[in-house]
Each structure stands twice: as C-alpha cells, then as structure tokens.
Amino acid sequence: MASFILTDLAQNTWIDSFDLTPAQLGLANGEDWSVSKRTLRGGRRDGVDMIHINHRTLSMAIVPTRGMGLWRGSYQGHALGWKSPVLDGPVNPAFVHLSDRGGLGWLDGFDELMVRCGLEQNGAPYEVALPASDGSIARHVLYPLHGRIANRPAHHVSVHVEDSPPHAITIEGRVAESTLFHTQIEMTTRITTIPGSNGLTVRDEFVNRSDSPGSMQLLYHWNFGPPYLGEGSEFVGPIETLAPRDPRAAEGLDHWTTYGPPETGFAEQAYLARLQGEGPDGRTLAMLKAPGGDKAVVLRFQKAQLPCFTLWKNTRGLSEGYVTGLEPATNFPNSRPFEEARGRVIPLEPGASFVAETTLEILDQTHEVAAAEAEIERIQAQETATIYQRPGEPFTAEG
C-alpha cells in the first residue's frame, strides 16, 4: 500500500498542497483517478483543508478541517449533496460558535453531504441549570445542537492506495473530542472508494482515550438535494417501527415516504424509526429514489452499530435548503438525557473502541434501483411495519 501523510500534528507534518495520480505510483495505463489537497483561502473558508478524490465515475470533496465530513460530490455528473443557505462554505470552525443562537450555532456551518453529529451528544440543543449550594441557579450550561465533532479539525490526515487492483483509495483522518474532565474520544475515519465504482465507504472507529469509562452518541447526517430529491422522490427502507417526531411530522404521516416539490417556508418533518435488518449484525439499507426511479442513493449499514434511523424531510424552497436527511445513528436526535434514560448511548470502556461503517451507493440504472427496492422489500417482508400515528415513547416525548 502506498501511503502519504498530509497532516500529522504529533510529527509536525503538514503539507500545504498535494496531488497524486496513478502515474506517480507507476500504475498501469488505464487507471484514471486523482487525489489532491488544497488549503482554501478567503472568507469563512480561510484555512480550510479540502481533499478531492476524483475517479472516472465519482468525485468527492472531504474536509479534514470540518471533522472529516464529506462536503460535496458528484456521480456521473449528478450532484451529491445539497444547496445550503450557507453561501460561503465549507466554513472554518473558527467562525462557528456552537453556543450562538441559543445553541443553534452549528447551523452557521451546515452545508455538507455528510456531517457527523456527536460525540458527547447530538440532537436538539438543551440547557441545564446548575444549582448553587443555596438552591438558586448558579449558571446555565448549553449543550449545542449536534455536538462538537463536525467542528473539530483533524489532527492526522493521510492517503492510502492499495497496491493491487482495483487500487482502493482511502482517506484516513483522526479527529479528537478530548478535554480535561470531559469526553476523551478519538475518531479514526477511513473513507474508501474504488476507482470506477459507484460509491464509497465511511468506516469510523472511536476509541476512548481516557482511563475512565466514557460514552458517546453518533449520528450520520447524510443530506441529499436534487437530482436525487425532487417532486415524486421516494424514501424506501425496511421499517420495523416508526413514529413522527412531533405533531408537525404527524401531519405528513399519510405520505411520509414521498416528497413534494420545493415549497417556500415548508416546516421540517422528521420521522424516527427502527429499521429491520438481516443476519446477526442486522445488515440493512435505506434508499432515496429519484423521481422516475431511474436514479437513487442508497446507504448500507448495520443495526448492530447504528440501531436508530431518522428521516428528515425539509422540502423548503430551492434557495432556502431543499434537502432530505437520511440519518443512521446510535440514538434519536433528542437531548442526551432523554436518550440516555432509554439506553441510547454507546458506553466505551477505557481503551475500548466502537466502530460504525456506512456505505454510500449511487445507482443510475432503473434496474439497479429496482433491485435495491426488491432487496428492501425482502427485508421488510420479515415483519409488518408498525407506524405510530403520534409522537411518543420510546422514540420521543409524548406529543
């Protein structure tokens, strides 16, 4: 395997720009891919590292500075990602203040195809009033929307290319959420794609670097806009149980799997689900089918790793964030205390690790889409889906 270290703080390694092609590795003709890295300048992206992988079919921009998130990509010329109201991203976390806007500061940088939420907590912001010894409020602690990990720059970044065909390309990054008296978890992500393939795999390993037991929450916020999202798009997934997050989501329950056109001022709807899976690890998949059914994006993951699934429908106007989120996670995006009381945190003993892997597949043939749908139907057939009409336990607080 050929490996190149782009950033490694422990070794004082940092490379300002980087370009790699098959020829540099002495690979045979016919290979057609590149990996490059640039440091962006100007605006709120000043100082942001960006890695581009390009191969015949897929391109993907990965942002080490934003917690190794996936910014945007394209497959066979079709955009992967969405058009966020953030006009000037990817935003350097130095310009994102999570505590702003009552804990919604995270939104100031939110424009990714895939952004991780966690690790101490994810989900809705909440505030805890710490009592003074006399019972009055000493001070307020705000737990911000979706946590810190997306706004932590990677302290190690490297590129690996397999020696033997099909010469899988991996971008490795390490990101720490580690502070005295708090969470001490280091993530190592390996984002792998095979040149010419129709997707990539994100494999994340989280290690508790503390001597004390710890815990974490993790949600993968995969976000898709056009052309995969459009009027008539359909969500397809093997549902075990599903509930609307709130009364607003309940309003849309009779057509929760289908998407409308961009609708100005549309108020978001979210559905919380347990999917069905196969085998001991609960292998499963979820699909967003484009209008007409000739294209789709599919996420594959395991319930053993990511037992909770949130579907976020945000079909606002095209200029204000027409997007849907497919969100496999360890928990539902409620406040951590709510989730913890229901056992939805991942305990991590000292030195122990938790691994989560998600594969993104992009389909551009009607028969491929049909095959994925058939696969989902096969899993669905194991058990009838239970759809709750109102928000409530154990998904969320009673509505």
Region 207-236 residues binding a copy of itself, contact defined as CB under 8 A? 209-212
The DSSP code for 102 is H
CB-based contact 381:278 (threshold 8 Å): no
Cis amide bond preceding 166, omega within 30? yes
Q: Is 154 in the site for a copy of itself (CB under 8 A)?
A: yes
Inter-CA distances, 203 with 47, 191, 301, 358, Å: 26, 6, 10, 7
| Nearest-approach distance from CB 317 to a copy of itself, in angstroms | 3
Taken in order 292, 297, 301, 307, the sign of the CA dihedral is negative
Q: Is 341 in the site for a copy of itself (CB under 8 A)?
A: no
Q: Is 316 in the site for a copy of itself (CB under 8 A)?
A: yes
CA-only gyration radius of the chain, Å: 21
* Category of 265 on φ-ψ map: left (φ > 0), alpha (ψ -120 to 50) or beta: left
Q: Is 291 in the site for a copy of itself (CB under 8 A)?
A: no
Enter the tokens of residue 302.
């395991």
Stretches 230-238, 260-268, 280-288, 387-395: which one binds a copy of itself (CB under 8 A)? 260-268
| Nearest-approach distance from CB 260 to a copy of itself, in angstroms | 14
344-373 binders of a copy of itself (CB under 8 A): 350
Q: For residues 46 and 377, which CB has a smaller minimum distance to a copy of itself in the complex?
A: 46
CB-based contact 394:342 (threshold 8 Å): yes
User: Which residue from 93, 118, 291, 333 is in contact with a copy of itself, where contact means CB under 8 A?
Assistant: 93
| Nearest-approach distance from CB 48 to a copy of itself, in angstroms | 10
117-136 binders of a copy of itself (CB under 8 A): 125-128, 130, 133
CB under 8 A, 24+ apart: contacts of 373-382 = 373/236, 373/287, 373/289, 375/285, 376/236, 376/237, 376/238, 376/285, 376/286, 376/287, 377/238, 379/238, 379/276, 379/277, 379/278, 379/284, 379/285, 380/238, 380/239, 380/276, 382/238, 382/276, 382/278
User: Which residue from 17, 19, 32, 88 is in contact with a copy of itself, where contact means CB under 8 A?
Assistant: 88
Q: For residues 19 and 383, which CB has a smaller minimum distance to a copy of itself in the complex?
A: 19
23-42 binders of a copy of itself (CB under 8 A): 40-42
| Nearest-approach distance from CB 313 to a copy of itself, in angstroms | 14
Q: Is 321 in the site for a copy of itself (CB under 8 A)?
A: yes
| Nearest-approach distance from CB 77 to a copy of itself, in angstroms | 19
User: Which residue from 1, 17, 19, 46 is in contact with a copy of itself, where contact means CB under 8 A?
Assistant: 46
Stretches 90-98, 226-234, 269-277, 359-367: which one binds a copy of itself (CB under 8 A)? 90-98
